[in-house]
Amino acid sequence: MKYSFTRSAIRALSFAFAFSLAIAPLSRAQGTDPNKVTDQEQLQEQNQQLKLRTLNKAAVPPVDPAEEAAYKAFYDTSPQDPDTRIRLGEAFVQKYPASLYNESVFSALTQAYSAKQDWKNFYADADKALALNPDDATVLVIVGWIIPHDIDPASADAATDLDKAEHYEKHAMEIIPTLAKPAKIPDDDFAKSKTAMLSEAHSGLGLVYFRRQDSEDSVKELQQATQLAASPDPTDLFVLGLGLQSLNRYADAADAFKRCAQVPGGLQDRCKQSADAARKLAK
């Protein structure tokens, strides 16, 4: 069975992901509806991460005032207006192909294309960002999260894509604890941003293992994802319940489904039914 996941809380994403851009940039799964909707919290997080990235840029004397002005225009766009951000960002990288800002722009474009559900350009600009900076935690986390949510298990490339997602999330987990805090960012905000990124990375990895039918490892990752998340993703809780149920841990599965059922959205009724069924099996 293919599950198509979206979300309305972070990922939030998820992903925050100086830093790159928001990690929780996507909308999270609310059932089998494939529509991904980026909410206000996610958009604010994305813009914050773009600011973090800019603050972390080494101070370089402006060589071309026009280039600086073009980047500022892009930087000042609202993440709630992905069309404008895409138009200005793509125009910038075409006009200034050797700019020091290009990795930041490609990272931001990755977020904008995710909001538009334009997956062709999403992956293309993610690849460009990672070619310039293989340690861009923002892009690593969001791509590693999207792949297992939207992959077609019947695809000939499914196994390769899951391997890629696993590598990205594990690499992001290595990088996130070492990220340097920009001087102008409060300690608490920075710590929360890193925690959100780690939650997103564990979520993506948990879904990778779920796709591989590796319930034990999927459960371990999704438990960490839901424990770290300020507002656990209902999809993570639902899949966690499925994994626990497959391990015959019915009481724990019922608890995960119950938590999922408390979150309004497309999975709420399904989680209520699953919780009732798991409680009966636990007796």
pLDDT digits (tens, 9 = 90+) for 181-203: 888 889 999 999 999 999 999 99
Confidence class for position 50, pLDDT limits 50, 70, 90: low
Rounded Cα distance, 278 and 283, in Å: 9
pLDDT value of position 17: 28
pLDDT value of position 53: 54
Name 25's Cβ contacts closer than 8 Å, sequence gap at least 6: 11, 12, 13, 14, 15, 16, 17, 38, 42, 45, 46, 111, 114, 115, 138, 142
Assess whether pLDDT exceeds 50 at residue 97: yes
Rounded Cα distance, 205 and 218, in Å: 7
Q: Across the chain, what does the average pLDDT equal?
A: 82
Domain at 40-212, CATH homologous superfamily: Tetratricopeptide repeat domain (1.25.40.10)
Rounded Cα distance, 150 and 277, in Å: 27
CA neighbor of 16 nearest in space, from 133, 161, 145:
145
- 221 neighbors 37 (Cβ within 8 angstroms): no
Rounded Cα distance, 129 and 139, in Å: 7
Long-range (24+ apart) CB contacts under 8 A made by 248-252 are 250/278, 250/279, 250/281, 250/282, 251/278, 251/279, 251/282
CA distances from 43 to 8, 16, 17, 110 (A): 11, 10, 12, 13
State both tokens at 62: 């402006």
pLDDT value of position 185: 86
Assess whether pLDDT exceeds 70 at residue 59: no
Whether the full predicted model's pTM is greater than 0.85, yes or no, is: no
